[in-house]
A and B are shown apart, each in its own frame.
Chain A
Amino acid sequence: NAGVMQNPRHLVRRRGQEARLRCSPMKGHSHVYWYRQLPEEGLKFMVYLQKENIIDESGMPKERFSAEFPKEGPSILRIQQVVRGDSAAYFCASSPQRATNTEAFFGQGTRLTVV
Protein backbone atom coordinates (compact mmCIF):
# COMPACT_ATOMS: atom_id res chain seq x y z
CA ASN A 1 0.00 0.00 0.00
CA ALA A 2 2.01 2.92 -1.29
CA GLY A 3 1.93 6.17 0.59
CA VAL A 4 1.52 9.65 -0.83
CA MET A 5 3.85 9.94 -3.82
CA GLN A 6 5.30 13.21 -4.95
CA ASN A 7 7.54 13.90 -7.90
CA PRO A 8 9.96 15.18 -8.65
CA ARG A 9 11.80 15.18 -5.33
CA HIS A 10 13.99 18.05 -6.45
CA LEU A 11 13.24 20.63 -9.12
CA VAL A 12 15.45 23.45 -10.34
CA ARG A 13 13.96 26.21 -12.44
CA ARG A 14 15.29 29.48 -13.79
CA ARG A 15 13.41 32.66 -13.00
CA GLY A 16 10.47 33.04 -15.35
CA GLN A 17 10.03 29.32 -16.08
CA GLU A 18 7.09 27.18 -15.05
CA ALA A 19 7.19 24.56 -12.29
CA ARG A 20 4.86 21.57 -12.19
CA LEU A 21 4.69 19.50 -9.03
CA ARG A 22 2.81 16.20 -8.96
CA CYS A 23 1.08 14.37 -6.12
CA SER A 24 -0.51 10.94 -6.21
CA PRO A 25 -2.64 10.37 -3.08
CA MET A 26 -2.73 7.17 -1.09
CA LYS A 27 -4.90 4.45 -2.57
CA GLY A 28 -8.53 5.09 -1.74
CA HIS A 29 -7.97 8.74 -0.82
CA SER A 30 -9.99 11.35 -2.69
CA HIS A 31 -8.84 14.50 -0.87
CA VAL A 32 -5.53 16.23 -1.52
CA TYR A 33 -3.87 19.11 0.34
CA TRP A 34 -0.86 21.16 -0.67
CA TYR A 35 1.42 22.90 1.82
CA ARG A 36 4.49 25.08 1.41
CA GLN A 37 7.47 25.20 3.75
CA LEU A 38 9.81 28.14 3.46
CA PRO A 39 13.33 27.66 4.91
CA GLU A 40 13.35 27.42 8.70
CA GLU A 41 9.57 27.67 8.96
CA GLY A 42 6.63 25.39 9.55
CA LEU A 43 4.31 24.21 6.81
CA LYS A 44 1.66 26.61 5.57
CA PHE A 45 -1.60 25.41 4.01
CA MET A 46 -2.11 26.37 0.37
CA VAL A 47 -5.06 24.51 -1.14
CA TYR A 48 -7.48 21.64 -0.57
CA LEU A 49 -8.91 19.70 -3.48
CA GLN A 50 -11.29 16.85 -4.10
CA LYS A 51 -11.55 15.12 -7.46
CA GLU A 52 -12.22 17.83 -10.08
CA ASN A 53 -13.00 20.44 -7.41
CA ILE A 54 -11.07 23.07 -5.49
CA ILE A 55 -12.68 23.23 -2.05
CA ASP A 56 -10.44 25.70 -0.20
CA GLU A 57 -7.70 27.79 -1.80
CA SER A 58 -7.39 30.37 0.95
CA GLY A 59 -3.63 29.84 1.24
CA MET A 60 -2.80 30.14 -2.44
CA PRO A 61 -1.03 33.26 -3.68
CA LYS A 62 -3.39 35.23 -5.90
CA GLU A 63 -1.17 35.16 -8.96
CA ARG A 64 0.96 32.58 -10.77
CA PHE A 65 -0.15 29.62 -8.62
CA SER A 66 -2.83 27.11 -9.58
CA ALA A 67 -3.79 23.60 -8.59
CA GLU A 68 -5.90 20.84 -10.06
CA PHE A 69 -6.94 17.30 -9.19
CA PRO A 70 -8.41 15.72 -12.32
CA LYS A 71 -10.70 12.73 -12.42
CA GLU A 72 -7.80 10.62 -13.62
CA GLY A 73 -4.18 11.13 -12.70
CA PRO A 74 -2.27 12.98 -10.01
CA SER A 75 -2.91 16.36 -8.49
CA ILE A 76 -0.78 19.11 -10.02
CA LEU A 77 0.49 22.28 -8.38
CA ARG A 78 1.56 24.69 -11.08
CA ILE A 79 3.69 27.78 -10.56
CA GLN A 80 4.06 30.07 -13.54
CA GLN A 81 6.91 32.54 -14.05
CA VAL A 82 8.75 31.40 -10.94
CA VAL A 83 10.69 33.88 -8.80
CA ARG A 84 13.43 33.33 -6.21
CA GLY A 85 10.88 33.65 -3.41
CA ASP A 86 9.09 30.53 -4.67
CA SER A 87 12.08 28.43 -3.58
CA ALA A 88 10.66 26.16 -0.89
CA ALA A 89 9.62 22.63 -0.09
CA TYR A 90 6.12 21.78 -1.29
CA PHE A 91 4.33 18.96 0.50
CA CYS A 92 1.21 17.09 -0.43
CA ALA A 93 -1.05 15.19 1.97
CA SER A 94 -4.13 13.06 1.32
CA SER A 95 -7.10 11.76 3.26
CA PRO A 96 -10.10 9.53 2.57
CA GLN A 97 -13.57 10.93 1.94
CA ARG A 98 -14.58 10.25 5.51
CA ALA A 99 -11.47 11.29 7.37
CA THR A 100 -11.13 9.68 10.78
CA ASN A 101 -8.94 12.56 11.84
CA THR A 102 -6.40 10.40 13.57
CA GLU A 103 -3.66 10.64 10.98
CA ALA A 104 -2.56 12.95 8.22
CA PHE A 105 0.17 11.53 6.01
CA PHE A 106 2.46 13.59 3.86
CA GLY A 107 4.45 12.81 0.78
CA GLN A 108 8.21 13.25 0.81
CA GLY A 109 7.93 16.72 -0.66
CA THR A 110 9.29 18.48 -3.72
CA ARG A 111 12.14 20.88 -3.13
CA LEU A 112 11.93 23.69 -5.64
CA THR A 113 14.99 25.83 -6.21
CA VAL A 114 14.70 28.90 -8.41
CA VAL A 115 18.00 30.14 -9.79
Chain B
Amino acid sequence: AQKITQTQPGMFVQEKEAVTLDCTYDTSDQSYGLFWYKQPSSGEMIFLIYQGSYDEQNATEGRYSLNFQKARKSANLVISASQLGDSAMYFCAMRERLIQGAQKLVFGQGTRLTINP
Protein backbone atom coordinates (compact mmCIF):
# COMPACT_ATOMS: atom_id res chain seq x y z
CA ALA B 1 0.00 0.00 0.00
CA GLN B 2 1.10 3.53 -0.70
CA LYS B 3 2.41 5.59 2.17
CA ILE B 4 3.47 9.21 2.58
CA THR B 5 5.79 10.38 5.37
CA GLN B 6 6.32 13.98 6.44
CA THR B 7 8.85 13.97 9.26
CA GLN B 8 8.70 17.65 10.21
CA PRO B 9 5.68 18.38 12.43
CA GLY B 10 6.59 22.07 12.55
CA MET B 11 9.04 24.48 11.00
CA PHE B 12 9.92 28.09 11.79
CA VAL B 13 11.55 30.23 9.12
CA GLN B 14 12.50 33.89 8.82
CA GLU B 15 10.65 35.90 6.22
CA LYS B 16 12.37 36.01 2.80
CA GLU B 17 14.36 32.85 3.46
CA ALA B 18 13.86 29.73 1.38
CA VAL B 19 12.31 26.71 3.07
CA THR B 20 12.27 23.01 2.21
CA LEU B 21 9.46 20.77 3.42
CA ASP B 22 10.32 17.08 3.37
CA CYS B 23 8.20 14.31 1.93
CA THR B 24 9.09 10.68 1.32
CA TYR B 25 6.82 8.10 -0.19
CA ASP B 26 6.54 4.38 -0.58
CA THR B 27 4.92 2.65 -3.52
CA SER B 28 5.44 -0.37 -5.72
CA ASP B 29 3.72 1.30 -8.68
CA GLN B 30 5.73 2.61 -11.61
CA SER B 31 3.13 5.23 -12.46
CA TYR B 32 2.10 7.63 -9.74
CA GLY B 33 1.62 11.31 -9.04
CA LEU B 34 2.72 13.51 -6.17
CA PHE B 35 0.88 16.60 -4.96
CA TRP B 36 1.45 19.36 -2.46
CA TYR B 37 -1.39 21.25 -0.80
CA LYS B 38 -1.48 24.26 1.49
CA GLN B 39 -4.07 24.49 4.24
CA PRO B 40 -4.25 27.95 5.87
CA SER B 41 -6.01 28.55 9.15
CA SER B 42 -9.26 29.17 7.25
CA GLY B 43 -9.23 25.45 6.45
CA GLU B 44 -9.49 25.12 2.69
CA MET B 45 -7.13 22.87 0.74
CA ILE B 46 -5.19 24.83 -1.86
CA PHE B 47 -3.47 22.87 -4.62
CA LEU B 48 0.13 24.03 -5.09
CA ILE B 49 2.07 21.74 -7.39
CA TYR B 50 2.08 18.33 -9.08
CA GLN B 51 4.86 15.96 -10.16
CA GLY B 52 4.31 12.87 -12.28
CA SER B 53 6.55 9.86 -11.79
CA TYR B 54 7.62 9.95 -15.44
CA ASP B 55 8.31 13.67 -15.52
CA GLU B 56 12.01 14.19 -16.17
CA GLN B 57 12.14 17.73 -14.88
CA ASN B 58 11.22 19.02 -11.45
CA ALA B 59 7.87 20.79 -11.36
CA THR B 60 7.80 24.53 -10.69
CA GLU B 61 4.92 26.92 -10.04
CA GLY B 62 5.98 30.46 -9.23
CA ARG B 63 7.78 30.42 -5.87
CA TYR B 64 7.07 26.71 -5.43
CA SER B 65 9.26 23.97 -6.80
CA LEU B 66 9.30 20.26 -6.18
CA ASN B 67 12.66 18.56 -5.63
CA PHE B 68 11.84 15.12 -7.03
CA GLN B 69 14.41 12.40 -6.34
CA LYS B 70 12.88 9.22 -7.66
CA ALA B 71 15.61 6.82 -6.53
CA ARG B 72 15.33 8.12 -2.98
CA LYS B 73 11.52 8.28 -3.19
CA SER B 74 11.43 11.85 -2.02
CA ALA B 75 9.38 14.81 -3.23
CA ASN B 76 10.37 17.82 -1.16
CA LEU B 77 8.59 21.15 -1.59
CA VAL B 78 10.82 24.21 -1.85
CA ILE B 79 9.35 27.65 -1.24
CA SER B 80 11.64 30.48 -2.28
CA ALA B 81 11.58 33.93 -0.70
CA SER B 82 9.05 33.00 1.98
CA GLN B 83 6.30 35.44 2.90
CA LEU B 84 4.18 35.86 6.02
CA GLY B 85 1.20 34.54 4.06
CA ASP B 86 2.99 31.23 3.58
CA SER B 87 2.30 30.33 7.21
CA ALA B 88 0.01 27.30 7.01
CA MET B 89 -0.15 23.51 7.15
CA TYR B 90 1.39 21.81 4.14
CA PHE B 91 0.40 18.34 3.01
CA CYS B 92 2.17 16.01 0.63
CA ALA B 93 -0.07 13.49 -1.15
CA MET B 94 0.30 10.64 -3.61
CA ARG B 95 -2.20 9.42 -6.14
CA GLU B 96 -2.95 5.74 -5.95
CA ARG B 97 -3.23 3.60 -9.04
CA LEU B 98 -6.10 4.68 -11.28
CA ILE B 99 -9.13 2.47 -11.19
CA GLN B 100 -11.96 3.48 -13.51
CA GLY B 101 -10.49 6.96 -13.70
CA ALA B 102 -10.00 7.38 -9.95
CA GLN B 103 -7.75 10.02 -8.40
CA LYS B 104 -7.62 8.58 -4.92
CA LEU B 105 -5.05 10.43 -2.84
CA VAL B 106 -3.04 9.29 0.17
CA PHE B 107 -1.93 12.14 2.43
CA GLY B 108 0.93 12.63 4.85
CA GLN B 109 0.46 13.99 8.36
CA GLY B 110 1.42 17.50 7.36
CA THR B 111 4.01 20.10 8.35
CA ARG B 112 3.00 23.32 10.08
CA LEU B 113 5.08 26.14 8.64
CA THR B 114 5.41 29.43 10.51
CA ILE B 115 7.06 32.41 8.86
CA ASN B 116 8.53 34.91 11.32
CA PRO B 117 8.81 38.61 10.41
Please give the residue numbers on chain A whose beta carbons come within 8 Å of chain B beta carbons, in ascending order.
Answer: 31, 33, 35, 41-45, 48, 50, 55-56, 89, 91, 93, 95, 97-99, 101-106, 108-109, 111
Contacts and interface: CB of A to CB of B under 8 A. Distances in A.
A93 B103 contact: yes
B35 A104 contact: yes
Could you tell me the dominant secondary structure of chain A's interface residues? strand
Interface stretch (B14-22, B41-49, B64-72, B76-84): B41-49
Contact of A42 (B52, B95, B108): B108
Given A44-B107, A104-B95, A109 B44 contact: yes
Contacts of B47: 103-106
Contacts of A105: 47
Contact of B104 (A33, A108, A109): A33
B33 A55 contact: no
25 contacts: A42-B108, A43-B91, A48-B102, A48-B104, A55-B102, A56-B102, A89-B43, A91-B45, A95-B103, A99-B101, A99-B102, A101-B98, A102-B33, A102-B52, A103-B50, A104-B93, A104-B95, A104-B103, A104-B105, A106-B37, A106-B45, A108-B44, A109-B43, A109-B45, A111-B43
A106 B91 CA distance: 13
A31 B102 contact: yes
Of A43, A105, A109, most buried by chain B (CB within 10 Å of CB) is A43
